[in-house]
Amino acid sequence: MRTQVGIVGAGPAGLMLAHLLHLQGIESVVIELRDRDYVEKRVRAGLLEQNTVQLLTESGVGQRLQREAMHHTGNYLRTPEWTHHLDMEKLVGRSIWIYGQQEVVKDLIAARLEYDDPLLFEVADVAVHDLDSERPRITYTHEDAQQELDCDVIAGCDGFHGICRGAIPDGVLTSYERAYDFGWLGILADAAPATDELIYAWHPNGFSLYSMRSPTVSRLYLQVPADEQLDDWSDERIWAELQTRQASEGWQVNEGPIVDKGITPMRSFVCEPMQYGRLFLAGDAAHIVPPTGAKGLNLAMHDVHVLCEALVDLLRSGNRTGVDGYSERCLRRVWRRTSRTT
Ligand SMILES: Cc1cc2nc3c(=O)[nH]c(=O)nc-3n(C[C@H](O)[C@H](O)[C@H](O)COP(=O)(O)OP(=O)(O)OC[C@H]3O[C@@H](n4cnc5c(N)ncnc54)[C@H](O)[C@@H]3O)c2cc1C
Q: What is the pLDDT of residues 83-97, one digit of tens each?
A: 999 999 999 999 999
The pLDDT assigned to 339 comes to 59
The mean pLDDT of the chain is 95
Evaluate: CB of 294 within 6 angstroms of ligand 1.
yes
Cβ atoms of residues 167 and 127 within 8 Å:
yes
The 3-class secondary structure across 77-115, one letter per residue, is EECCCCEEEEEHHHHHCCCEEECCHHHHHHHHHHHHHHC
The DSSP output letter for 165 is G
Question: Atom 50, ligand 1: which residue's CA is nearest?
Answer: 45
Q: Is 342 a residue whose pLDDT tops 70?
A: no
Report the C-alpha gap between 99 and 45 in whole angstroms: 8
Evaluate: CB of 186 within 6 angstroms of ligand 1.
yes
Evaluate: CB of 98 within 6 angstroms of ligand 1.
no
Q: What is the pLDDT of residues 273-330, one digit of tens each?
A: 999 999 999 999 999 988 877 899 999 999 999 999 999 999 999 999 999 999 999 9
CA angle 144, 147, 148 (to 5 degrees): 165
Q: What percent of the chain has pLDDT above 70?
A: 99
Report the C-alpha gap between 10 and 29 in whole angstroms: 10
Q: Is 73 a residue whose pLDDT tops 60?
A: yes
Q: What is the pLDDT of residues 97-130, one digit of tens each?
A: 999 999 999 999 999 999 989 999 999 999 999 9
Q: What is the pLDDT of residues 175-223, one digit of tens each?
A: 999 999 999 999 999 999 999 999 999 999 999 999 999 999 999 999 9
Pocket test for ligand 1, best of 101, 119, 222, 302 (most atoms within 8 A of CB): 101
Pocket test for ligand 1, best of 208, 271, 284 (most atoms within 8 A of CB): 284
The pLDDT assigned to 341 comes to 46
User: The whole model's pTM is what?
Assistant: 0.94
The pLDDT assigned to 336 comes to 86
Question: Atom 42, ligand 1: which residue's CA is nearest?
Answer: 33
